[in-house]
Structure 1
Amino acid sequence: MESIYDQNSKILKALSDANRLKILDILSCGEKCACKILESFNFTQPTLSHHMKVLMDCGLVECRREGIWNHYKLNKNNSDKLISFLTNILNETDNCICNEKGEK
C-alpha cells in the first residue's frame, strides 16, 4: 500500500509543469471541453491529451465523454486532500509526525 507521501509526491510531480498548473486554473472555473482548454495553449491536441492523462492518473482531474468530446473537471475531493496534506506538513502544529512517534 502506498504511503500518503508516495501518493502526494505523484501529484506534486504532476504539478511541476506550468501548463498543467494553468489547466487546473482553467478547470477551477468549472467543467471544460478539451477543445476549450486547448484554446488557451499553443500546442497540439495530442500534447493536451498527455497533460490531461497525467492529471487524471494522479487523481486531480476527472473526465467524461460526450459524443466525440472529452469534458474535464477538477476532482474536488482529491484537491481538498492535497490542500489538507500540504497544510499539515507546512505548518508547525502539535499534530506532526514527530509527536506520532513519541519524539519531543
Structure 2
Amino acid sequence: MGDHTQNALVYKAFCDENRLLIINQLSLGERCACDLLEKVSISQSTLSHHMGILLESGIVSARKVGKWTYYSLNPLGCLSAVDELRKIVSPKESTASSCVCE
C-alpha cells in the first residue's frame, strides 16, 4: 500500500465521531465489543463497520478469545499516524513558485 493510501485510511479512521469515541475508550485499555457497544451506544453492525475501518488503518489491533473479540490501540500504528501527520504539516523548503496567475 502506498504512503498516501495508508495515510488516507488513518485519517478516515479519525474522521468520525463514533470512531473517536471508540478510540477514546481504547485509550483506557483493551475492551471487548460488548463493552464498546455499551459505552458508545451504537448497534452491533455499526460497531463492526467502525472496527473494520479502525483495524484497516492499523491504529487498532484485535485478538479473539473464543467467541469474543478484544480490541486495543496499536502503539506502533498510533505512532506512525502521528509521525505521518507531522511530516505532512511540517514546513518544507520550497522552490521558487512557478505561478502564472499574475
Same fold (TM over 0.5): yes
| 8 A contact 2:9–2:56 mirrored in 1 | no
- Equivalent in the alignment of 2:100: none
- Equivalent in the alignment of 2:58: 59
| 8 A contact 2:62–2:72 mirrored in 1 | yes
Matched residues in 1 for 2:42 and 2:23: separation?
17
Amino acid at match of 1:6: T
Q: Which runs of 5+ in 1 are unaligned?
A: none
- Equivalent in the alignment of 1:15: 14
- Equivalent in the alignment of 2:39: 40
- Equivalent in the alignment of 2:74: 75
Name the larger-Rg structure: 2
TM-score normalised per structure 1:
0.82
1:9-62 residue CA offsets vs partner (Å, 9 max, x unmatched): 121112211100110111011111111111112221121111101110111111
Amino acid at match of 1:37: L
> Identity over the aligned pairs, expressed in percent?
39
Matched residues in 2 for 1:21 and 1:45: separation?
17
TM-score normalised per structure 2:
0.83
Give the number of equivalent residue pairs: 96
Q: Which runs of 5+ in 2 are unaligned?
A: 97-102
The structural deviation recorded for 1:85 is 1.3
Matched residues in 1 for 2:20 and 2:40: separation?
12
